[in-house]
Amino acid sequence: MRPFELTAPATVDAALASPGAFLAGGTTLVDLMKLDVLTPRHVLDINRLPLRGIDSTDGLRIGALERMSDVAQHAGVYPMISRALLLSASQQLRNMASMGGNLLQRTRCTYFRDIAMPCNKREPGSGCPALSGANRMHAILGTSESCVATHASDVAVALVALDARLELVGENGSRTVALTDFYRPPGDTPEVENDLRPGELIAEIVVPRLDWAWNSTYVKVRDRQSYEFALCSAAVALDVQDSRIVDARVAVGGVATVPWRLTGVEAALRGAPATPETFEVAASAAADGARPLAENGFKTSLVKRTVIRALHELTEGSH
């Protein structure tokens, strides 16, 4: 790790006035500094800033510095959010890690984390060894010739399904961005992962009220049952009335370069009977546009099976 200066601003204005890397829980930033993947000269500990609080009076407002474990346990949080959080990392990490930091965590692509290897995301133009190398964990959706890394956050998948937005604050004021627009697929510039401007802070995560999202879940398939990133995951909410699907939200993770909303699957579910046949037909579109690599072709069928499993979980006993 390289030497760095550490300060802890007490106000948002003071934090915005000093260039440097923001430190929340540190569970991504410090890891990557130890590996020399990130080498900030100045680190700003933002934990004294007033970016806290969970308000569930009308939808949800979650301060960016709220810890994953506190959000997971909050009674006003939709099940798909709390399940996504509880299936992330470990209890110790969830106690440290913040919601804002979770949304900004970096990919787990092993080449990205190894500075001895080329990587377009870390060093633009150097190449992407994952295209022809170890790519079992990599993405099949939203990929480019420059980068095929998956987005690692679980809770971002649930938040995208729920049309969440971010309140951002920067030197020029505040702005709101839909989470789906916030994340950028790699294209020709995999080093640009999101819409955050230099020096800008995530202040708050806002989830619009959606009463039927109380019937929601998050299914995560991984190589071992705890402390592991997703091979594939599905965040699903269903509004079922009289055995018919009135509305649906579906997003998947572990298979795409950004949290991936499946609007085609949602459209196929809407208005259909809540039956296993409907689920099979609707989920058949889950991997549309997929570009599998040598080692991750299994994800094209896994993504369909994961969506179907989540749909069954939400309708168990009703068919």
Ligand X SMILES: Cc1cc2nc3c(=O)[nH]c(=O)nc-3n(C[C@H](O)[C@H](O)[C@H](O)COP(=O)(O)OP(=O)(O)OC[C@H]3O[C@@H](n4cnc5c(N)ncnc54)[C@H](O)[C@@H]3O)c2cc1C
Residue among 65 and 119 whose Cβ is closer to ligand SF4: 119
When binding is defined by CB under 6 A, the residue of 15, 23, 54, 77 that contacts ligand X is: 23
Q: What are the CA-CA distances from residue 35 to residues 1, 114, 174 (Å)?
A: 7, 7, 33
Find the helix or strand (DSSP H, E) in which 13 lies: helix 12-17
Q: What are the CA-CA distances from residue 230 to residues 157, 262, 306, 310 (Å)?
A: 11, 17, 11, 15
Q: Which positions from 60 to 99 touch ligand X by CB under 6 A, shown as an x/- string? A: ----x-----------------------xx---x--xxx-
Q: Which stretch binds ligand X (CB under 6 A): 18-26, 118-126, 132-140, 158-166?
A: 18-26
Taking CB atoms within 8 Å and a gap of at least 24, the contacts of 126-134 are 128/190, 130/293, 131/293, 132/294, 134/110, 134/295
When binding is defined by CB under 6 A, the residue of 153, 216, 233, 315 that contacts ligand X is: 153
Contacts of 260 (CB under 8 A, 6+ apart): 141, 142, 157, 160, 251, 252, 253
Q: Under the criterion CB under 6 A, does residue 130 sit at the interface with ligand SF4?
A: yes
Give the span between the Cα atoms of 224 and 118, in whole angstroms: 29
Q: Under the criterion CB under 6 A, does residue 121 sit at the interface with ligand SF4?
A: yes
Q: What is the number of H-type helices and E-type strands within the chain? A: 11, 12
Residues 172-191 binding ligand SF4 (CB under 6 A) are: 190
Residue among 25 and 292 whose Cβ is closer to ligand X: 25
Give the span between the Cα atoms of 231 and 222, in whole angstroms: 5
Give the span between the Cα atoms of 262 and 252, in whole angstroms: 7
Residues 250-279 binding ligand X (CB under 6 A) are: none
When binding is defined by CB under 6 A, the residue of 22, 112, 182, 260 that contacts ligand SF4 is: 112
When binding is defined by CB under 6 A, the residue of 60, 71, 119, 152 that contacts ligand X is: 152
105: three-class secondary structure by DSSP: coil
- Considering CB distances under 5 to 8 angstroms, the limit depending on partner class, which of ligand X, ligand SF4, none binds residue 78? none
Inter-residue contact 108 to 37 (CB < 8 Å): no
Question: What tokens does 3 get?
Answer: 């030497």
Residues 190-249 binding ligand SF4 (CB under 6 A) are: 190
Q: Under the criterion CB under 6 A, does residue 22 sit at the interface with ligand X?
A: yes
Residue among 148 and 314 whose Cβ is closer to ligand SF4: 148
Residue among 31 and 163 whose Cβ is closer to ligand X: 31
Q: Pick from 284, 296, 293, 233: which is nearest to 81 by CA?
A: 233
When binding is defined by CB under 6 A, the residue of 69, 111, 142, 154 that contacts ligand X is: 154
When binding is defined by CB under 6 A, the residue of 15, 83, 86, 100 that contacts ligand X is: 100
Residue among 74 and 108 whose Cβ is closer to ligand SF4: 108
When binding is defined by CB under 6 A, the residue of 9, 15, 25, 83 that contacts ligand X is: 25
Give the span between the Cα atoms of 179 and 103, in whole angstroms: 9
List interacting residues with ligand X (CB under 6 A): 21-29, 31, 64, 88-89, 93, 96-98, 100-102, 104-105, 152-154, 201-202, 229
Contacting positions for ligand SF4 (CB under 6 A): 107, 109, 111-112, 119-121, 128-130, 147-149, 190
